[in-house]
Structure 1
């Protein structure tokens, strides 16, 4: 019997990875294809990563109220693996757009303080290992909110403590990290990050990600000055350059903050997910892999989820079918090399809003057609045998 493994990422703004896997399975079953189907939904360090990792590692999801991106109360979900003393936290839950109530403001007014609150809560509960998923941040505070929640004290020229923010950071003259260092001394941090932007400059956190989070041109200049000043103070305190970190601009500078202040290990999202969940072992005795996400194109070659799992399958000689809402009109040889078949699931010309609404029915229909083809091919092969 044909052994099929379904391992998709989410279709952003439409279906979670689990929902995608369920829909593909339903379409295949409707085709009456005789096959043993297994599902292994995957994640890339963005939305839903904590849930899927926690499920694979047999942990539990918990909830804690913290201060959101604009310092408003928000309920943040996170994964907890008791046996491993590990917490899995998505920045999106504490400091992302989902934590915002009302209109989006300038990131000058945003803070990662809630992320620090959640980390502190877990440290006090005995957690020693943290997996931090950097996707979905609404902040560009370089991690100063996070650091303050964990005990770093920022001081003005008069020696008085300041509640530091990007807006007033020019007043900060020094910092005291002694309490912070004691607090995290027994902890280990792994951060999942798929971007390579450094903290400062034209490709940095302020210039590239600031406008995506509501920053005006004037705001971007202020944020760049703030991050430069924070880099100087950090180097004076720790002897390391925040701007030397590849990926340091991720999540508004949290990439650099974790790498330097927390000595965190930086990992690519999907590759780490596959490693820690044992995806390669799941490919054993698999005849066909089906993967997918909202868009598969040349950018996917930079390590996007479908290409990572297709790469594992390719190495083992397992054919892969890729399904996406959008694929290139001309598929490059390099991209095609990962897939035996790469299909767009759309059925008719329609705008993005309509396409997102129709993702489930389009995905199910496409999977059914694949099943019908496989059933016919498999039947013909048996007849020949």
Structure 2
């Protein structure tokens, strides 16, 4: 029996690799002779670099860059495919988790540090860049990225605008003539798991600005700045991205990137699955086990369990989901995942749930396996 174990991490408790290992340990208690294939996954956000580094035996790289509020941060990225591909997470240099909650300033947070990581990747001669957009602190439309790569964004007085999305309201001109020359030669794939447009009530500022520290008044000002940026970018690109699906991710970072590269937006989990050649691993599998910290109907919005389950379903492979906890609404999950299980034994404090995550997961996996074995021996007809 071939079993593919392909989970995401359980946030704040277990890495994706640790989750896969715990599930295998539980299943081996019941099915010791099965063939187990562990495929730790991520959906393009935080943890993606770690997953692909392990899966593809890449090289971890580190740079001191400018954080979202200007303070230096030591950010990790990865070289894959013998140095041909760079993998970068916007969260590493421009992430919301880099800023204490009480210090978050959505109006001035900049993506400049992510641009510095991209610059470093270009200096290493990569031919392809994969960028995960999850977890950003910024709403600057990728203006900081663009400036870090050599572009000039000036106000009506000819001065370079200040960092952050609010300053986009003063933007009067975009000059990309001094961009890094290698930008035009690099394949650039953006991992994007939201369909929000850049501007408007469903856009980057209105939907994601509040969680980054923006007040209602600041949300409106940030949206106006992004609209201004999109209008000026239209003159350079020949198309207007104010309503383009996916351009609202990571504070509109795709707009700045589109001014520097020919970009392709792709589902984050599909990017990871393709990079790991998951379809080949799934061939001839008898069972797929996936999971994440919490599973509910939101899982179907491009998260890891949905991504791997969809591919397994296309091959006729049954899928079991094991989560740290199950949300209140899970009925829609059954359209892609045959059955789902939560691991928490009883009502507990969060710190206890997190500390017992491995043992809870291992025990649940063992019980799922035992149920499968029992079902194979019963004749209930």
Q: Distance in 1 between matches of 2:343 and 2:100?
A: 35
Q: Distance in 1 between matches of 2:318 and 2:159?
A: 64
Paired residues of 2:136 and 2:251 also in contact (CA < 8 A)? yes
Task: Give 1:249-328 correspondences, 5 Å limit.
Answer: 249-328=248-327
CA-CA distance at 1:101 after TM superposition: 6.5
Question: Helix, strand or coil for the counterpart of 1:21?
Answer: helix
Question: Helix, strand or coil for the counterpart of 2:293?
Answer: strand
Question: Helix, strand or coil for the counterpart of 1:275?
Answer: helix
Query: Is 1:356 the counterpart of 2:354 in the alignment?
Result: yes
Question: Helix, strand or coil for the counterpart of 1:61?
Answer: strand
Q: Distance in 1 between matches of 2:89 and 2:122?
A: 16
CA-CA distance at 1:110 after TM superposition: 0.7
Query: Is 1:336 the counterpart of 2:334 in the alignment?
Result: yes
Question: Helix, strand or coil for the counterpart of 1:243?
Answer: coil
What is the TM-score when the length of structure 2 is the normalising length? 0.92
- The runs of 5 or more residues in structure 1 that have no matched partner are none
Structure 1 residue runs of 4 or more that deviate by more than 6 Å after TM superposition: none
What is the TM-score when the length of structure 1 is the normalising length? 0.91
Query: Is 1:16 the counterpart of 2:15 in the alignment?
Result: yes
Paired residues of 2:139 and 2:164 also in contact (CA < 8 A)? no
CA-CA distance at 1:275 after TM superposition: 1.8
> More displaced, 281-290 or 37-46?
281-290
Query: Is 1:158 the counterpart of 2:157 in the alignment?
Result: yes
Paired residues of 1:5 and 1:40 also in contact (CA < 8 A)? yes
- The runs of 5 or more residues in structure 2 that have no matched partner are none
Root mean square deviation of aligned Cα = 2.3
Paired residues of 2:90 and 2:132 also in contact (CA < 8 A)? yes
Paired residues of 1:33 and 1:375 also in contact (CA < 8 A)? no
Q: Which residue of 1 aligns with 2:236?
A: 237
> More displaced, 262-271 or 82-91?
82-91
Question: Helix, strand or coil for the counterpart of 1:299?
Answer: helix
Question: Helix, strand or coil for the counterpart of 1:179?
Answer: coil
Task: Give 1:159-238 correspondences, 5 Å limit.
Answer: 159-180=158-179, 182-238=181-237
Q: Which residue of 1 aligns with 2:363?
A: 365
Paired residues of 2:176 and 2:259 also in contact (CA < 8 A)? no
Name the count of aligned residue pairs.
379
CA-CA distance at 1:31 after TM superposition: 4.1
Residues 301 and 97 of structure 1: is their aligned pair in 2 closer, same or farther, counting only changes over 3 Å?
A: closer
CA-CA distance at 1:372 after TM superposition: 2.7
Query: Is 1:145 the counterpart of 2:135 in the alignment?
Result: no
Deviations 1:242-266 (A, max 9, x none): 2132111100111333345422100
CA-CA distance at 1:104 after TM superposition: 2.7
Q: Distance in 1 between matches of 2:346 and 2:220?
A: 44
Q: Distance in 2 between matches of 1:206 and 1:15?
A: 32
Residues 164 and 176 of structure 1: is their aligned pair in 2 closer, same or farther, counting only changes over 3 Å?
A: farther
Q: Which residue of 2 aligns with 1:115?
A: 114
